[in-house]
Amino acid sequence: MLVVVGMAVLGVALGALTARKRKGSGADIAQYAAGYGIAFALAGLAISLVLVRVIG
């Protein structure tokens, strides 16, 4: 579970930084943060499932 949360937080940070770098408004920053957060959380879920299968 920690992998999923960690990846989601990383995605939110990268999304916000990307939108800010592109000089987006507050709504743009929120949308990028949400999109990246969801995408990274799904990737973290896949990684977590693989780790559980391999280790456990």
pTM of the prediction? 0.90
pLDDT digits (tens, 9 = 90+) for 10-51: 999 999 999 999 999 999 999 999 999 999 999 999 999 999
Residue-level length of the chain? 56
Residue 14 to residues 8, 36, 48, 51, Cα–Cα distance (Å): 10, 7, 20, 24
Residue 56: pLDDT above 90?
no
In the prediction, which pLDDT does 28 show?
Answer: 97
- Domain assignments of the chain as residue spans, ordered by start: 2-55
